[in-house]
Chain A
Amino acid sequence: MSAMLKISEISKQYEEQAPVLTGVDLEVRAGESVAVLGASGCGKSTLLNIIGALDWPDAGTLLFDGLDVLSMNEKQSARFRNEEVGFVFQLHHLLPQCTVLENVLVPALVASGASDAKNRAKDLLQRVGLADRLSHRPGQLSGGERQRVAVVRALINQPRLLLADEPTGALNREGADSLMELLLELNQEENLAMVMVTHSERLAKRLDRVLTLEAGMLK
């Protein structure tokens, strides 16, 4: 099977700082899950942001299904993020003024052909055990519940790639394990490719591949 995501020779340096990425190569197939380990500040989140077209490298190529993501204009990259990629961050970043269901539907508001998004949102929320929390505000949920809502929001437009930036970082062990279970289940059920940045080797081992970012390169 050919790689859905293919990045090569990606390098990135922030102004007046040491290079963060110095030639990263990575291929991810559909449905594959990859864990990226590394010390704090080694560039894991930067790599994830570049993959998700939120940041741009100084050099290298990034192909998604053969499409050159780095050559996309602002409109195309926004569409790419909206339809092909789902993001889960360490903090949930839910909108406090919106209900659980509304938070999930936020990406669908700007998606094309998302007419059945509401039903899918309800299905997914039921799937993650939040069917009775649809009209709750984030302030009324626990940390684990909020992060589950964030996962459902990432999946609402049926992306093929899920990028998770330390999704369990703010959770306790039990919550972290539960969320990990959920992510792996979804990975299987939705045939979802997943790149997850984490500090936890224990959780990383549950993914298909484990890579370490060190000195700006994936090993």
Chain B
Amino acid sequence: MIRLLLSSLKFRWRSHAGVLLGIVLASAVLTGSLLVGDSVDGSLRKFALQRLGGIHYAMHTPNRFFARSLAEKIDADAAAVLQLRGMALAEGRQINQVQVLGCDSNLWKLAGLDSQLLESEVALNKKLAAALGVEAGDEVSLRIEKPGLLPRDAPLAAQKDDRSVRGRFTVSRILGDDELGRFSLSANQVAPYNAFVNFQWLEDRTELERKANLLLAGKRDPSGTLAQVWEPADFGLRLREEGGVVQLESDGVYLGPEAVRAALSVSGAEGSLTYLVNSISKGRKSTPYSFVLACDGAGGTPAGRLGDDEIIINRWLADALEASAGSSVALKYFELLASGKFEERERTFKVHSIIEMEALEQERRLAPQFPGLTDVDRCSDWDVGIPMEEAQLEDEANEAYWNEFKQTPKAIVSLKAGQEMWSNRFGSLTGIRWKSGRVEEDFRAAFNPERAGYVFQPVREQALASVDNAMDFGELFAGMSFFLIVAALMLTGLLFVFGVQQRAEEMGILLATGWRPRQVRGLLLAEGAVIALCGSVAGAWLGTGYTKLLLLGLSNYWNGAVANSAIHYFAEPGTLVSGAVSSFVCAMAAMAVAVWRQAKHPARELLMADFSQEFAAQAGNQRYGQAGCLRYVALAAGLGAVGIAAYAVLAEVQSVTMPFFGAGALLLVSGILFCGELLRRAGRQDSLPGLGALALRNAARRRGRSLAVVGLLACGCFLVFAVSSMKEDVTAHADEPWSGTGGFAWFGESTLPIADDLGGVRLRVRDGDDASCLNLNRARTPRLLGVDPDVLSARKAFEAGDDVWALLHTELPEGMVPALVGDSDTAMWGLEAKTGVEKGDVLEYRDEAGNAFLVKLVGALPMRLSVFQGSLLIAEKDFVERFSGEEGYRMFLFDGAGGTPAVQTVHGAGGTPAVQTVHGAGGTPAVQKYERAGLDVVPSTDRLLEFYAVESTYLAMFLVLGALGLAIGAMGMGIAVLRNVQDRRAETALLRAVGYRTATLQKLLFIEHGLLLLGGLGVGIFSSALAMAPALFITRSHVGYGFLALLLLAVAGCAVACMAVAISVALKGDLLRGLRNE
């Protein structure tokens, strides 16, 4: 048996070579596609490990600062870092969105380097150095944000000091990717702009002495150590004793929720809240800007038990207002709104009693220290974040009070009344007091750093998990190459059947000599298995070349698909094996079908190689059975296609693309079956009016083979055409509010927060993972944008009929925050999440204080692509409640040239493109101010195009691979021609014998196969036209008719060329041999 197998393989090597080539092709394409997945996965893994170096754990508190010394306490090798946003300037260029990292030698140890930066030095990563065009030794300036311990949005926070500092440095080195050059905690393959500076310099200039906001550690989880070694001062808390009273205070003035919870759980604790009111008045008598204390009398205060409508006033105030016990006084104060604006409120109190100034001496010492307020000599020097009237600040009596009593409260109210008036998102207590006792120990026992947000995250593990959950490019490319693989397998099947049919006589002889059909099939399949094995293995090896070719394409032509990231070649042995095994199985399946079909003929027919009975049998059997059934399927598919399309239009389905694509696919099935029906009818007609009819009859003879050709061409055409029509002109309706730009002409992002109203719409930003298509990793916690839903709702921006912004007002249980996904593509692909008030997915975030809270995806902006791609939008009020440390606004939407004056200020009076004006050297002071905030303003359409580049590249790749598949399909058609002529060589010889010229025979074959070509292309075009209808008439997408026409011509030309070659080769042989029967 083995000898027979080997001799057969040797004897029929020519026939097997074709089959082998087909399998090699299928295997190479399949394995190569899977290896692209390996390469993307390997590259992402490499980037993830590069960006973290030796870092395994990180504690990051973006807007809160802890003691730098905490690093030494938890681990000698842990690195404290001060990470701030900034801009880099050199050679007249400004690069925004730079990550400035103040670091010491410990950070470099985590990168495996022994280094230290001098105060005059900066180390840049390659990306930033390239963007600035600088090298080691060059000069670079950095402008860096200068955050305060008390956020500037907070009431009574200092405002006038600079929000940024600038330094000039010499570039000491350019950091490579393996030297933490790509350092980032975000799961993103795109390297950030990184500038590393001396820690000491940065903390000095930003006045964040001995503070850090990022703690990095190596392999050992430092969480346990942190729980043991922390001290209140590490987290900006201090316990101060004044005259027998112990008071808990915070560097940030307002105490955080965990500090409050822990402190109030310690026996004898009483909270206090100090606020600066606008005025205290009785009748026409009034005093401006006064500190008022709210507390319930514990810890040495003289308040005792006050009613919530009662107030104790000090002697100075009683004299000034001429008030006495029982008098009514009015307090005017500002309430902080979610928008950051202040609104003045008034509350009336009854004077409970009058307290002497001496009794308040201790309160003066216990009063919280507001930077810019309690540390200045004159009231007129006050620098606080509330609107103040200049005339009131100049009040002489108040100035005298300040000189003598400083921040001594003028009045005391109950804590409840005080919190009702002055609680805000930054806190509701400025101190917690105890009369005495072992407070510190008890407080340490009660305080949980983890609940306060001081948590080490296993960042390395998370980074690798993001890579593991990233989009599977292997599947993506296998999907894109699907048609190519199917075409190669069909080619394999056709070639194998061709070989098997040529061996009909051999099979007949084997059967006649006593072989059982199963044994004959086994012999043929064993031969096929040897070929499939060789082809699959060789193909898998060649697949590595196909991968490299695709990676070359990804590097040079399709780099948009991987967001311009460099993808390196990686190959897992398992992938090679699975590619080879899958190809082997597919090839064996294709060959098994061919063998089964051939071996079902009886020995007599095989010996005679005469299958003339086949046609009669087929015609008879299918008259009432299978054919009738398929006719109804064709009709149902056609009606289904029309129904789906009609429903999509009449029901005003939001996204009509997919229904129409589905309808087109149904029409494709219907069309192919309809062609089958036409062939069946052609085979049954009783007249033969001419050559065309004879050609049609010939096509109908091997209906399965003809339909395979029609189907292959139709499917290829449909996929390539329909997919190419999905290419959209995202800028087409950019001025419409319902488009992805919201109707806004300009989109701005600043590096540093801007509090000023620039006009247009402004959004608050909490940095997070990028869930857009530009990030190949799986986003865990997407960036959050805080937006005023009513403003966008009033403009009907980003809406498609329904008021989508109203969803942000949805009341959800358990404190969940409603969020809208930036666009439907982000929901579908970036997050793979469900949206909806009832069924929407829920994501966990941590607020500024470190508390976990849930964000529910109640909806998504209705368009596929918007300027908010990759982000989640929540209501501004929810944003500021949870992220009190995020000052101002960092994202802006501006109208066009006819916009508000504020916008025109940004854009310059000349209405020139914003980006130039903002960065232009000759800008106005206002422009320069925003330049210092790193404001980048680009046309909104540019932002859409940046995102769309990914999809556009996928489409281009699909087109190329699809067109390759069509070329293989055309080759398949050539094989079909050869097979048909080979099958009918006796008939062809006879036609020649009865007077048919070669040209006539060529014509006959051309007509026969041309009809199949026309049928295939026609069905493909017709069904793809339906799939393209929304693009043509509804979304008015940009369809490249010229390109489609060229593609059609190329496909048809390729098919005709293959056909011509096949016909020419087929008719060149010795046709007379077909007539010899000796």
Residues of A with Cβ closer than 8 Å to B?
40-41, 45, 49, 52, 54-55, 74-75, 78-83, 86-87, 89-91, 93-99, 101-102, 105-107, 109-111, 135, 137-140, 153-154, 157, 165, 169-170
Contacts and interface: CB of A to CB of B under 8 A. Distances in A.
A75 B999 CA distance: 9
Which of A55, A93, A97, A139: most chain B CB closer than 10 A? A97
A41 B1076 CA distance: 11
A136 B637 CA distance: 34
Given A41-B1078, A49-B1072, A107 B616 contact: no
A135 B1000 CA distance: 26
A82 B994 contact: yes
Contacts of A91: 986, 1077
A98 B991 CA distance: 13
A78 B686 contact: no
B95 interface: no
B1075 A89 contact: yes
Contact of A105 (B617, B688, B996, B1078): B688
Contact of B995 (A81, A93, A94): A81
Contacts of B688: 98, 102, 105-106, 109
A183 to B, nearest CB: 17
Contacts of B611: 96
A54 B1072 contact: yes
B612 A45 contact: no
A154 B995 CA distance: 11
A89 B987 CA distance: 12
Contact of A94 (B612, B691, B998): B612
Contact of B1075 (A79, A93, A98, A110): A93
Given A98-B697, A102-B688, A109-B688, A153 B994 contact: yes
Given A45-B1076, A169-B1077, A97 B995 contact: no
Interface in B686-733: 686-688, 690-691, 694, 697-698, 700-701
A153 B987 CA distance: 13
B13 interface: no
B699 to A, nearest CB: 9
B593 interface: no
B613 A109 contact: no
Contacts of B698: 97
Contact of A93 (B614, B619, B986): B986
B998 A74 contact: yes
18 contacts: A54-B993, A54-B1072, A74-B997, A74-B998, A75-B997, A79-B995, A87-B993, A90-B1077, A96-B612, A98-B694, A106-B688, A109-B690, A110-B996, A110-B997, A111-B995, A139-B612, A139-B614, A157-B995
B683 interface: yes
B990 interface: yes
B992 interface: yes
B1078 A137 contact: no
B515 interface: no
Contacts of B989: 93
A98 B685 CA distance: 9
Which of B616, B617, B986: most chain A CB closer than 10 A? B616
B615 interface: yes
Smallest CB-CB A-B distances: 4 pairs: A82-B995, A139-B616, A107-B994, A96-B612
Nearest to B1070: A55
Given A97-B697, A135-B686, A45 B1078 contact: yes
Contacts of A90: 1077
A80 B614 CA distance: 34
A94 B688 CA distance: 15
A90 B1077 CA distance: 7
A147 to B, nearest CB: 13
Contacts of B994: 81-82, 86-87, 106-107, 153-154
Nearest to A169: B1077
Given A54-B1072, A106-B694, A109-B691, A137 B1077 contact: no
A49 B614 CA distance: 30
Given A96-B701, A99-B686, A110 B612 contact: no
Given A91-B1077, A96-B701, A99-B686, A110 B993 contact: no
Interface in B1023-1077: 1072, 1075-1077
Nearest to B1003: A110
Interface residues of B, number: 37
Contacts of A98: 688, 694, 697
A166 to B, nearest CB: 8
Nearest to B1078: A40
A96 B616 contact: yes
Given A82-B996, A106-B991, A153-B994, 13 more contacts: A78-B996, A78-B997, A81-B994, A82-B994, A87-B993, A89-B1075, A89-B1077, A93-B989, A96-B611, A96-B612, A97-B697, A110-B1000, A111-B995
Interface in B824-847: none
B6 to A, nearest CB: 28
A98 B694 CA distance: 8
A102 B700 CA distance: 15
A96 B698 CA distance: 9
Nearest to B1075: A89
A137 B619 contact: yes
Contacts of B996: 78, 82, 110
Interface string B473-504: 00000000000000000000000000000000
Contacts of B997: 74-75, 78, 110
Given A96-B612, A97-B701, A139 B617 contact: yes
A107 B992 CA distance: 9
Interface string B970-1008: 000000000000000011011111111110100000000
A170 B690 CA distance: 31
A94 B993 CA distance: 13
Contacts of A86: 994
Interface in B610-637: 611-617, 619
B1076 to A, nearest CB: 6
Contacts of B686: 99, 101-102, 135
Which of B614, B683, B989, B1076: most chain A CB closer than 10 A? B1076
Contacts of A109: 688, 690-691, 694
Nearest to B617: A139
A186 to B, nearest CB: 17
A110 B995 contact: yes
Contact of B616 (A52, A102, A137): A137
Nearest to A97: B701
A78 B1006 CA distance: 19
A12 B708 CA distance: 44
A142 to B, nearest CB: 12
Contacts of A140: 616
Contacts of B612: 94, 96, 138-139
Contacts of B993: 52, 54, 81, 87, 89
B995 A95 contact: no
A44 B299 CA distance: 131
Contacts of A99: 686
A169 B1077 CA distance: 10
Interface in B211-241: none
Nearest to B690: A109
A138 B990 CA distance: 15
Contacts of B690: 109
Interface in B665-699: 683, 686-688, 690-691, 694, 697-698
Which of B612, B619, B697, B698: most chain A CB closer than 10 A? B612
Nearest to B698: A97
Contacts of B694: 98, 106, 109
A78 B995 contact: yes
A153 B690 CA distance: 16
